[in-house]
Structure 1
Amino acid sequence: MESLLTAQLKLIPEMSDLLQKRYRILQTIQLSKGIGRRVLGEQLGLSERDTRKELDALRNQGLIDVSRDGAAITPEGTQMIIELKEVVREWSGRLQLEQTLSQHLHIKEVIIVPGDVDTNTNAAMLLSQEAAKYLESILSDEKIIAVTGGSTIASISNFVQATTKWKQLLFIAARGGVGKDVALQANTIASLFSNKMNGSYRTLYMPDSLSEEAYNTMMKEPFIQEMMDLYERTNIIIHGIGDAVEMARRRYTDENEIDRLKEAGSVSEAFGYYFNEQGEAVHRIRTIGIQLKQLTHIEHLLAVAGGAKKAKALLSYFKQAPEQTVLVTDEGAANEMIKIISETN
């Protein structure tokens, strides 16, 4: 079907815009599980008339059902999304953008979803869904998976398939807590993944930042040594990448320290390290968790972050990221990164 459709699009290129629009509508309906016409139009930037027209067309093709509860995708619609995915990816320009960015960032792969999480909640769901699919594609029995905290990583657990197919998966917190929202801390997220995927989990109930004395004392504790051993044997890490100042404020860092981070040129943060535009670590939180030097031997590194506002942070972090990293991001961040790269070259 893909080769036939590609030929049709080459013959009638104006079909491409309509194809992409209807595909986005199907994706949005699939994610929303019952969405009203007005909300759908607002999310996709369509007029009420255009939304009604496209919903009628998709319903007539048996791809969606429309009721008082809103629009819902049918099994045929779900299958259509699967079959058209690669064609839409190519014709939207995302495939070329992915290849360009992966080469520039010197990493294994870049996966780009439509939209911008800064302005579109649907893009945030697509980001998490794509990350969940990639995670499932690399899993096998007896793996150790470390997860960091944050709303993006927590959302991924909502999209992994509930299954008992894997044996002896162990999800572990990659670090102590950040911020006061327990639901978004690594410990909680590890348990969410574990519950969905028939695994077990290990927690690390430690403050994210420790004094030197407390750090040295805790590192001697047996349960900390066990966690450090698990980090050495970890197969997969799922992590976010943050804006330096935003992450500092989430840690309730005092303003004097934030000023010092700014003076040092901090742009991005990951794993408790702050990086400047050149990718150099200019500051490090004294924390118990996965350390930067351990990333080099991890089999799979899955970085998930989106939004145009994070473009500078992403470019900063990937100046030194291990080459086995896979980045799942969105068009907002990808296009802004390309813009920045073009301006600096």
Structure 2
Amino acid sequence: MDDKELIRIQQKIIPEVLEMMELRYELLSYIKAHQPIGRRNLANELSLGERQVRNEIEFFNKQNFVLVERQGISLTNLGEKILAQLKEVMYHYKNLEDLIEKLRDKLGIKKVFIIPGDSQKNKTILEFMGKTAANYIISILKNHSIIAVTGGSGVAAVARNFPEVHYPNITVLSARGGIGRSHSTQANSIVSMIGNKLDAQQEVLHLPDNIDKDILKVLRETPDIKDVFCKFDDIDILIQGIGRADVMAQWRNLPQDAIKHLKDENAVAETFGHFINQSGQIVCPSSNVGINIEQYLKIPIVVAIAGGKDKANAIKATCNVRRDLILITDECAANEIINN
């Protein structure tokens, strides 16, 4: 009897098993993301009864999965290990292999990885997505590879989850300039994080993303900046995030007439400065510092990371730009894309 058949029999005889595992997976992953956390906050955030949460915490405590202290509940080393193992069990119990096939067929793309859960509600799911992406990239790295990164919380999660290895001949560079107020999720910071983890060479763009074109033209001739731009044609792997058009328009502080234009053109996604519609057509080209669309389309391997129900349309649109990208997403986004 194979594992799939065993799971099918268990689900028929003990249908509540999956429901219980989902609950405990959600609780453990949420504790990991927000530890130390109190029972009441945990119950409120997950919309569970306090008695139910108390019973589950007592079970976790008896199993030595959590540490209960005055300041709150946190995972033990054993709890961390169990959570990682439970993620793999959930993958099979929820039949995510079939979901992957359906999503890949729906989007028409090269490769898909799906993590159980909802990364918009639970930061630990985003970290699992980041680890999956990092492990995949490590598996395809070659000597002298050039890795480029955009910014964003998803790409930052990939950076945090790279193992510490020795790749001195690899170059990590920024695919775009700085944007917004969050330093930790900007491309330059992510380059530094990945470069340090891989012991690799680092090339960053010390330029704001919305710099005046005339000033950029002059600055592009300075040696450090010119060197980065020259490497854009030789990128082997791009790690990119996927943003919603409306959110990114606000984030970039676009004027109201520009926001209206995006709405009129039905823009649903933003990727490295380009706003695109559901068909993958660019409705507002990038005026920012970084790689252009021609360079993007020539990059051999593109790894995109995005999750959550709200990102479904943006993911679909981005996949229409590049049918050969590798997508790292979560169960929530996958179901939204397939069902709508």
| Structures share fold, TM-score greater than 0.5 | yes
Letter in 2 for 1:130: M
Give the distance between the partners of 1:48 and 1:65, measured in 2 at CA: 18
1:142 Cα deviation after fit: 4.1
SS at match of 2:290: coil
The residue that corresponds to 2:81 in the other structure is 79
Which residue in 2 is equivalent to 1:17?
19
Query: Residue 343 of structure 1 corresponds to which residue in structure 2?
Result: none
| Gap regions ≥5 residues in structure 1 | 341-345
Q: Kindly state the Cα deviation for residue 150 of structure 1 after the two structures are TM-superposed.
A: 2.3
Q: CA deviation at 1:170?
A: 2.8
Conserved? CA contact 1:308–1:336, under 8 Å: yes
Tell me the distance in 2 between the aligned counterparts of 1:279 and 1:335: 21
- In the alignment, the residues of structure 2 paired with residue 248 and residue 215 of structure 1 have an alpha-carbon distance, to the nearest angstrom, of 22
Measured after TM superposition, the shift of residue 284 of structure 1 is: 0.8
Cα distance in 2 between the residues matched to 1:243 and 1:58: 38
Instruction: After TM superposition, list the pairs within 5 Å mapping 1:99-248 onto structure 2.
Output: 99-118=101-120, 120=121, 122=122, 124-139=123-138, 140=141, 142-161=144-163, 163-209=164-210, 213-248=214-249
More off after superposition, 262-271 vs 92-101: 92-101
Q: TM-score, normalised by structure 1?
A: 0.83
Aligned partners of 1:3, 1:77: CA distance in 2, in Å?
24
The amino acid of 1:204's aligned partner reads L
Kept after mapping to 1: 8 A contact 2:87/2:116: no
Q: Provide Cα deviations, 1:313-335, integer angstroms capped at 9, x if missing partner.
A: 22222112241x22222344333
Alpha-carbon distance between aligned partners in 2 of 1:74 and 1:186, rounded to the nearest angstrom: 33
Q: In the alignment, which of 57, 69, 77 is matched to residue 55 of structure 1?
A: 57
User: What secondary structure is seen at the aligned counterpart in 1 of 2:320?
Assistant: coil
Contact 2:109–2:323, Cα closer than 8 Å, also in 1: yes
Q: Deviations over 1:231-282 (max 9, x none)?
A: 2232322211122233233222222222223333322111221211211112
Structure 2 counterpart of 1:286, one-letter code: S
Given that residues 127 and 304 in structure 1 are in contact (C-alpha distance below 8 angstroms), is that contact kept between their aligned partners in structure 2?
Answer: no
- State the alpha-carbon separation in 1 of the partners of residues 328 and 30 from structure 2: 18
Contact 1:173 1:190 (8 Å CA) reproduced = yes
- Is the partner of 1:329 in helix, strand or coil? strand
Q: CA deviation at 1:297?
A: 4.2
Q: Distance in 2 between matches of 1:214 and 1:102?
A: 43
AA in 2 matched with 1:125: T
TM-score by length of 2: 0.85
Which letter does structure 2 place at the counterpart of 1:27?
Answer: S
- Unaligned 5+ segments in structure 2 are none
Tell me the matched-pair count: 335
TM-aligned CA deviation for residue 61 of structure 1: 2.7
> Are the aligned partners of 2:173 and 2:203 in contact in 1 as well (CA < 8 Å)?
yes
Shift of 1:58: 2.4
**Range with greater deviation from structure 2 (141-150 or 270-279):** 141-150
Q: Quick one: distance in 2 between partners of 1:151 and 1:85?
A: 21
Q: After the TM superposition, which of the residue ranges 178-187 and 275-284 deviates more from structure 2?
A: 178-187
Alignment match of 1:27 (pick from 29, 38, 43): 29
The reply on whether 1:314 has 2:315 as its aligned counterpart is yes
Q: Tell me the distance in 2 between the aligned counterparts of 1:287 and 1:224.
A: 14
What percent of counterpart residues are identical?
33
Residue 335 of structure 1: aligned partner: 335
**RMSD of aligned Cα (Å):** 2.9
1: CA distance between counterparts of 2:258 and 2:234?
34
**Letter in structure 2 aligned against 1:326:** I
- Closer, same or farther: CA 96–43 of 1 in aligned 2, 3 Å: farther
